[in-house]
Amino acid sequence: MSTISIPLPANLETFVNTMVKRGYAPTKAEVVRRALIKLAEDEAVADVLRAEQELAEGKVLRGDLRKLIKLMP
C-alpha cells in the first residue's frame, strides 16, 4: 500500500475528523479510502447507465472486433 499526501481545505478536514468522531471509520485514512471506494462504485454505476442509454439510442457496435478496432483513429 502506498501513501499519498494531499492538502485538504478546512471544511473537508473538519468533515473527515467528524466522520472519525462519529465512528464512520477508525482513522482519517480509512474515511478517505471509503470515500474513494464510493466514488469508484458511483462511477461504475454511471458507466453502466451510460452504456444502457447508448444501447437504447441504438449506438451499438456490431461486427468483428478486430475490424472495428482498425476503424478507430
35 assigned to some structural domain: yes
Residue range 41-57: mean pLDDT, rounded: 94
Provide the domain count of the chain: 1
What nine digits make up the cell of 13? 478536514
Q: Give the residue carrying C-alpha cell 452504456.
A: 51
Range of the domain at 41: 10-71
pLDDT of residue 71: 83
30 assigned to some structural domain: yes
pTM, to two decimals = 0.73
pLDDT of residue 19: 98
DSSP conformation letters of 35-64: HHHHHHHHHHHHHHHHHHHHHHTT----S-
Residue 29 confidence (pLDDT) above 90: yes
Residue 36 confidence (pLDDT) above 80: yes
36 assigned to some structural domain: yes
What nine digits make up the cell of 11? 471544511
